[in-house]
Amino acid sequence: MDWNNLPWDKIFIVLTALIAGPGVIVGVIVPAIGQMVVASAGLKAIARQPEAGDRINTIVLLSLAMLESLAIYVLAVILILIFANPMLKYIIGE
């Protein structure tokens, strides 16, 4: 097989797309599970102690924001992969 004559640029782009899809799937599911745990724990805490609702609300939102940023990192990486891949110019050429 002649490795040098394969269409590496097309292979590279296809590989990027193939990685981006599962990457988004994994990167959304895992923080979603974390947010689920936080939200259910917050609900239980408010149901047990409704008078502490304000403080619990703030802390739950804070934790959700922290977990949300993990999903956002995935989104940023995937966007860079698809729209602004820094490696692409080495593959395709100047």
Partner 1 sequence: MQKINNHRNLILLIVLLVALIGFSQLLEGPAGTAEEPDIAGELTPHVIFTVGPLEVTSTVVNTWAMMLLLGVGAYLLGRDLKLRPGPVQNLLEWFIEAIEGLIRQMMDVQDTTLFLPIVGTLAIFIGSANLIGLIPHLKSPTPDINTPLAMALVVFFSVPYFGVRMRGLGGYLKHYVEPTFLMLPVEIASELARTFSLTFRLFGNILGEEIIISILFIVMPFFVPVPMMLFSIFTGLLQAYIFTLLTCVYIGGAIKAHA
Sites of contact with partner 1 (CB under 8 A):
54-55, 58, 61-62, 65-66, 68-69, 72-73, 75-76, 79, 83
**Count of residues making up the chain:** 94
Backbone angles phi, psi at 6, to 5 degrees: -65, 150
CB of 5 to partner 1, least distance (A): 31
Place of tokens 């917050």: 42
**Complex with partner 1: residue 54 or 94, whichever CB lies closer:** 54
**Complex with partner 1: residue 6 or 76, whichever CB lies closer:** 76
Is the CB of residue 77 less than 8 Å from the CB of residue 23?
A: yes
